[in-house]
Amino acid sequence: MLACLNNMTTNDPMAAIREYIDGFNNGDQRAQAAACADPMQILDGMSPHVWQGPTAAQDWWNDALAEGEHLGVSDYHIDLGEPRHVDVTGDFAYVAVPVTFSYNVKGTPVTQTGALFTVALRKVDGDWRLTAWTWTKGTFAQGADAFGGD
């Protein structure tokens, strides 16, 4: 956890985003929550589509795991690309970064490319924290998206 906090104290808001995504990739809900401000907001393609408040990251994670279990999805992994935008104004930042999302659906690998992870951040006690994020779906290498779209 100390490494997580040390990385977020840099002047680069991408450090907090990397910590959040590392938490996702490692199945570490606490690391994800530690990278978030209170309040937090999430807008995602998965129903109910909006999570907000002090437990938004944990609530989204629990819903994502439940939805994945229902659909037979496992082995989630997100790779961050090079950011398209990193706009910092004082203690606030806006970042848009392309991502590749890989997972298995009932044992069949699926890769979503061309997705975009867009994040708003603010500094809290000198550390960057995510205040909101949204996921814009990309295209799928194995046909339909298991999470309800093409």
pLDDT tens track for 72-99:
999 999 999 999 999 999 999 999 999 9
Under the banding of pLDDT at 50, 70 and 90, the label for residue 141 is: confident
pLDDT in tens, 7-34: 445 689 999 999 999 999 999 999 999 9
Buried b (16+ CB within 10 A) or exposed e, 28-62: bbebbbbbbbeebbbebebeeeebeeebbbbbbbe
Sequence length of the chain is 150
Segment 113-119 shows an average pLDDT of 97
Domains and CATH numbers, the chain: 2-140 (3.10.450.50)
Q: What is the pLDDT of residue 10?
A: 65
Under the banding of pLDDT at 50, 70 and 90, the label for residue 142 is: low
Cα–Cα distance, 90 to 51 (Å, whole number): 26
Cα–Cα distance, 71 to 69 (Å, whole number): 5
